[in-house]
């Protein structure tokens, strides 16, 4: 455990051990903080990401620094982060400080220039984000909001929205997400158990119906009607 403490010099093996310890410690810390810290990089999450990376980087680049201090500091910061998340759920004022309410950028087809300056974004950036949503004209937008995580939510006027089954008075169909049975030439037995079929049935479908080898399949899915869809390499 000499690599864990400060040294005048470290061997290559000791540097590798430091990197391994830091890697798994950060994975553990991120797991405790939850998926919010990954999927939603907001004010609190951004501050934590920068701080944790900076703290753990020093003992990984300076043999004169031990890892104990950095790991204790990170543990305390993770604990404070969890407290901050809890307070944001229970205390409305703190939530508004951490996660500011969305800023309207477009309303009734008109760009609100003062809110663009408030959000510190340009018209070009706004138009780029609208194009990503397949929106050609600003006039078609009923409302566009600058979200706390840095994304833009856009809502079209009703006359420009996509027609739904309800609009056409069609009977609704139950939603079903196809089950992935094969990935990269291997059967996903966990997903196969969710169906009424067996491995023997799957192999029979591949050999008789589709006439393909399992190893040549990139992706295989099954729908609610037991139709097997195959995608080859």
**Helix ranges restricted to H, the chain:** 12-33, 36-39, 43-57, 68-90, 92-98, 113-119, 123-132, 189-192, 199-204
The model's confidence at residue 153, banded by pLDDT at 50, 70 and 90, is very high
CA distance 184 to 121: 42
The CATH number linked to 117 is: 3.30.240.20
Quote the tokens at residue 198: 């067996």
The pLDDT tens digits for 38-90 are: 545 666 777 777 777 778 777 777 777 777 888 888 888 888 888 887 887 88
% of residues, the chain, pLDDT over 90? 34
Q: Are residues 149 and 113 in the same domain?
A: yes
Q: Are residues 133 and 107 in the same domain?
A: yes
Q: Are residues 11 and 91 in the same domain?
A: yes
| Three-class SS state of 143 | strand
* Pairing mode of beta strands 103-107, 110-111: antiparallel
Tell me the CA distances in angstroms from 73 to 41, 77, 79, 103, one per residue in order.
21, 6, 10, 35
| Three-class SS state of 75 | helix
The pLDDT tens digits for 84-123 are: 878 878 888 877 777 778 899 999 999 999 999 988 889 9
Domain range for 116: 103-160
Averaged pLDDT, 3-22: 77
Q: Are residues 133 and 117 in the same domain?
A: yes
Number of domains in the chain: 3
| Edge-to-edge strand list for the sheet holding 228-232 | 186-187, 179-183, 217-222, 228-232
């Amino acid at each position: 455990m000499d690599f864990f403490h400060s040294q005048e010099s470290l061997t290559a093996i000791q540097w590798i051990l430091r990197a391994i310890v830091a890697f798994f410690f950060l994975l553990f810390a991120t797991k405790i903080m939850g998926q919010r810290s990954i999927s939603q990089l907001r004010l609190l999450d951004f501050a934590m990401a920068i701080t944790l990376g900076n703290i753990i980087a020093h003992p990984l680049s300076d043999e004169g620094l031990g890892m104990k201090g950095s790991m204790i500091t990170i543990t305390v910061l993770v604990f404070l982060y969890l407290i901050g998340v809890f307070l944001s759920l229970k205390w409305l004022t703190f939530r508004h400080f951490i996660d500011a309410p969305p800023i309207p950028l477009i309303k009734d087809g008109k760009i609100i220039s003062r809110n663009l300056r408030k959000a510190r974004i340009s018209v070009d950036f706004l138009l780029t984000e609208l194009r990503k949503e397949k929106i050609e004209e600003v006039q078609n937008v009923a409302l566009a909001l600058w979200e706390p995580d840095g994304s833009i939510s856009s809502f079209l006027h009703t006359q420009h929205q996509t027609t739904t089954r309800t609009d056409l008075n069609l009977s609704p169909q139950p939603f079903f997400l196809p089950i992935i049975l094969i990935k990269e030439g291997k059967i996903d037995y966990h997903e196969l158990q969710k169906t009424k079929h067996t491995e023997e049935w799957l192999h029979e479908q591949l050999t008789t119906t589709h006439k393909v080898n399992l190893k040549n399949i990139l992706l295989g899915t099954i729908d609610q009607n037991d139709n097997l869809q195959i995608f080859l390499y």
